[in-house]
A and B are shown apart, each in its own frame.
Chain A
Amino acid sequence: DAGVIQSPRHEVTEMGQEVTLRCKPISGHNSLFWYRQTMMRGLELLIYFNNNVPIDDSGMPEDRFSAKMPNASFSTLKIQPSEPRDSAVYFCAVQGRNYGYTFGSGTRLTVV
């Protein structure tokens, strides 16, 4: 059990560029969540999937953000075009029955 693996750990990109964040969840978990953490707003839920289907994307800031989960072992969060205000730590997490979320180590995104 390798946990939830996110890549890259750090990403620095220029404004206007496309950014893709990746998540490989623990096998056997049906729900996957993308969170964003900033000092100002704390942890915010962006979107979550159940059985690879998006259930609630009301937290996605705007059309520049999109997320996919093509199969149970992989998910992506894409920002196109990126803006400096997107700078944050992005976490992927899974939820198992009878216990809390397991979080990945996060991707620290800096948009300059």
Chain B
Amino acid sequence: SQELEQSPQSLIVQEGKNLTINCTSSKTLYGLYWYKQKYGEGLIFLMMLQKGGEEKSHEKITAKLDEKKQQSSLHITASQPSHAGIYLCGAPTNAGGTSYGKLTFGQGTILTVHP
């Protein structure tokens, strides 16, 4: 079965600093989702990457997909306390890609941003 490993497991940064979270898959990636979760709440969809080399940005968050490395990275520029939470990556488990099917998730990265 496919496994997703996220690194680091936790991260503490000072407000204004940049940071990167990585997600590495044990198998071929057919797409990659990034989610954010606040404690006690559901997951909020951030971005979906469908093709190797694809890069997407939303506000200060940028995600990239490196198919060859079976890896995705999430980069936050000039972090703010509002960025704090748990970031999870999820990947489709079949070659149907992002259009249909179940996702396997990484364990999550806990981000703390000190003001």
Residue numbers in B under 8 Å from A97 (CB-CB)? 99-100
Decide if B70 is an interface residue (CB 8 Å cutoff): no
Residue numbers in A under 8 Å from B100 (CB-CB)? 31, 50, 95, 97
User: What is the CB-to-nearest-CB distance from B7 to chain A, in angstroms, rounded to a whole number?
Assistant: 14
- Interface size grouping (class) on chain B: 20 to 34
For B12-29 the 0/1 string (1 means CB < 8 A from A) is 000000000000000000
Residue numbers in A under 8 Å from B45 (CB-CB)? 99-102
Q: Which of B33, B42, B98, B105 contacts A106 (CB 8 A)?
A: B42
A93 to B37, CA, bound (A): 14
Decide if B30 is an interface residue (CB 8 Å cutoff): no
Quick check: A105 and B103 within 8 Å, CB to CB? no
Decide if B48 is an interface residue (CB 8 Å cutoff): yes
Quick check: A56 and B48 within 8 Å, CB to CB? no
Cβ-closest 8 pairs across A and B: A103-B42, A43-B105, A100-B45, A103-B43, A100-B33, A42-B107, A105-B42, A45-B102
Which residues from chain B sit less than 8 Å from chain A, CB to CB?
33, 35, 40-45, 48, 88, 90, 98-108
Which residues from chain A sit less than 8 Å from chain B, CB to CB?
4, 31, 33, 42-43, 45, 48, 50, 56, 91, 93, 95, 97-106, 108
A-B contact pairs, 25 of them (CB 8 A): A31-B100, A42-B105, A42-B106, A42-B107, A43-B88, A43-B90, A43-B105, A43-B108, A45-B103, A45-B104, A48-B102, A50-B100, A93-B43, A97-B99, A97-B100, A99-B48, A100-B33, A100-B35, A100-B48, A103-B42, A103-B44, A105-B41, A105-B42, A106-B41, A106-B42
